Amino acid sequence: MDFDPFVLARIQFAANISFHILFPTITIGLCWVLLYFRLRFTFSGDKAWEYAYFFWVKIFALSFALGVVSGITMSFQFGTNWPGFMERAGNIAGPLLGYEVLTAFFLEASFLGIMLFGKERVSNRTHLVASSLVALGTTASAFWILSLNSWMQTPAGYRIEEGVLFVESWWEVIFNPSFPYRLAHMLNASLLTVAFLIMGVSAWRALRQVDGPATWKVMRTGALMAAVLAPLQVFIGDLHGLNTLEHQPAKVAAMEGIWETERGAPLTLFGFPDEEEKTTHLAIKIPKLASLILTHELDGEVKGLNEFGDDIPPVAPVFWSFRVMVGVGVLMVLVGWWATWALFRRREENAEAHAWLLRVLSVMAFSGWVAVLAGWYVTEIGRQPWVVDGVLRTADVVADHSAATVMGTLLGYVGLYAFLLVSYVGALRYLATKPARSLSLMPQQRTMHDSEITAGEN
């Protein structure tokens, strides 16, 4: 077999982390939304909010389980495939991961039991506290993991002795230059993913005529979230981009497909980056726009890839992933505004009144996943050839396994993940097909029997 074990190890890590991130992206945002449903019910007494909670907590539990098991895989991957990383950067990466386990992983995993199954066993107040602790735990988890990831992008607060990294300042390590932007970008991405998921599933249920009042309450919640958070995400993304330009200019050059350093650089909308010829073919350009976006000046200087010699990331995947992320993001802004405008202007809660919107929303149920994966590919592939930017090369930390070994486990993981992903979407579909339980709150307008309603969901 003439596969490069290094490339296979990278693909394996990418497969694991791509699969993993799908589920925390949902749970980090969804647990706050669930808390909101619980509080709305506690304060208003409106059963619809409680039914909304019961429906979405099931999806939360399922997503959480997938996130936990794939997260455990991640914690082993460092050792099994990238031992050099821990040997060289363990003094910094180790404690950050350790704090994640100690302050977040246990908190969420433990109180999850009470949140899911303890409603009858503890007071409403204790249950709310337990749910809040789960939400805090997931967010704290994101805090530590993103701190470590950001440190790998923009390392700070360390010194090197004989090839091994030591800590100079924990404050600088944790709050490294790109961390605030990445944390804000990811937390907001999580909420946005959830906004489109809850709208999408609710819309799908409305189209299937299994919706109840709770379904529409959830859909409006998602619409409002999207209308506010999607434009906010564009703003945070812009700040994040400026930060990347300052610390990782090669990544930005790859994102924009810019080869030569120039003032007043045009923005390439589309094109085909070619690493052999060091050019972007068939580029459609808008004059000066790249300089304007990146430096906020019409004639600002943007460094091109040719400045960085061989230490540049694979250009085409970064270039395309970036366009996918931005494209989905723009679509989210437009659909978020449309949904808010339509759902709050016409309060009729039936599929006929909103047929087109519901179709678009149900197609976009998992659009957050697409944008999140694309965004991570931009930042992670964009960091190559480094594992710790400018400090440690990815190729220097890989484990010495044969290509056959890594290929075998890779195929195992990919097969398992494909099966789980199909099962996950299938389970969501199955749960969403049952008639909404909140129908029982309506005066009998539809021809649905009571027994069917009580047997159903949400």
Partner 1 sequence: MDLAYWLPLFFAGAMGLALLIYVLLDGYDLGIGMLLPFASDEEKDVMVAAIGPFWDANETWIVLGVGILLIAFPQAHSIVLTSLYLPVTLMLMGLILRGVAFDFRVKAGDARKAMWNRLFALGSLVASVCQGWMVGAYVTGLTGDTTSTLFAAMIALTLPALYIMLGAAWLLIKTEGELFRKAIRWGRLAVFPMGAGLLLVSVATPLVSPAIADKWFSLPNAIGLLPIPLSTAVAYAGLIWIFHSKQILFNGYGWLAFVALSVICVMASIGLGYSLFPEIIIGQLTLWEAASATESLLFTFWGAIIALPAIIGYTIFIYRVFRGKATALSYE
Residues of this chain that interact with partner 1 (CB under 8 A) are 54, 57-58, 61-62, 64-66, 68-73, 75-76, 78-80, 83-84, 86-87, 90-92, 94-95, 97-99, 101-103, 105-107, 109-114, 116-122, 164, 166-167, 170, 399-401, 405, 409, 412-413, 416, 420, 423, 426-427, 430-431
Q: What is the token pair recorded at 376? A: 């991570």
Minimum CB separation of residue 121 from partner 1 in Å reads: 5
- By beta-carbon proximity to partner 1, the closer residue of 269 and 425 is 425
CB of 457 to partner 1, least distance (A): 10
**Nearer residue to partner 1 within complex by CB, 101 or 334:** 101
Helices 47-81, 403-433: inter-axial angle, 10-degree rounding = 180
Kindly write down the DSSP assignment for every residue of 178-218, as one continuous string: THHHHHHHHHHHHHHHHHHHHHHHHHHHHHTT---HHHHHH
Residue (94 or 390) nearer to partner 1, CB? 94
What b-and-e string marks burial along 193-226, b requiring 16 or more CB atoms within 10 Å of the CB? bbbbbbbbbbbbbbbeebbbbbbbbbbbbbbbbb
Closest approach, Cβ 453 to partner 1, in A, equals 16
* Alpha-carbon Rg for the chain in angstroms: 24
Give 158's strand partners.
167
Distance between CA 457 and CA 130 in Å, rounded? 24
- Three-class secondary structure assignment of 12-77: HHHHHHHHHHHHHHHHHHHHHHHHHHHHHHHHHCCHHHHHHHHHHHHHHHHHHHHHHHHHHHHHHH
CB closer to partner 1, 77 vs 261:
77
Rounded Cα–Cα distance for residues 187 and 182 (Å): 8
Judged by CB, which is closer to partner 1: 51, or 322? 51
We find the least distance from the C-beta atom of residue 150 to partner 1, in angstroms, to be 18
CB of 450 to partner 1, least distance (A): 19
CB atoms within 10 A of CB 49: 24
Question: Which of these, 145, 144, 69, lies nearest to 109 by C-alpha position?
Answer: 69
Token pair, residue 298, equals: 């019409």
Beta carbon of residue 161, minimum distance to partner 1 (angstroms, whole number)? 9
The minimum distance between CB 136 and partner 1, in angstroms, equals 13
Tokens found for residue 94: 């180790």
Extract the tokens encoding 408. Answer: 């075998």
Cβ proximity to partner 1: between 83 and 264 the closer is 83
Give 20 or 303: the residue with its C-beta nearer to partner 1: 20
Q: Are 203 and 361 in contact (CB under 8 A)?
A: yes
Q: Residue type at 415?
A: G
Dist CA 129 CA 111 (whole Å): 9
- Nearest approach, Cβ of residue 206 and partner 1 (Å): 21
The residue (of 247 and 437) whose beta carbon lies closer to partner 1 is 437
Distance CA 220, CA 27 (A): 20
Task: Give least dist CB 13 to partner 1, A.
Answer: 13
Place of tokens 């506690």: 42
Q: Which CB atom, from 173 or from 230, has the smaller least distance to partner 1?
A: 173
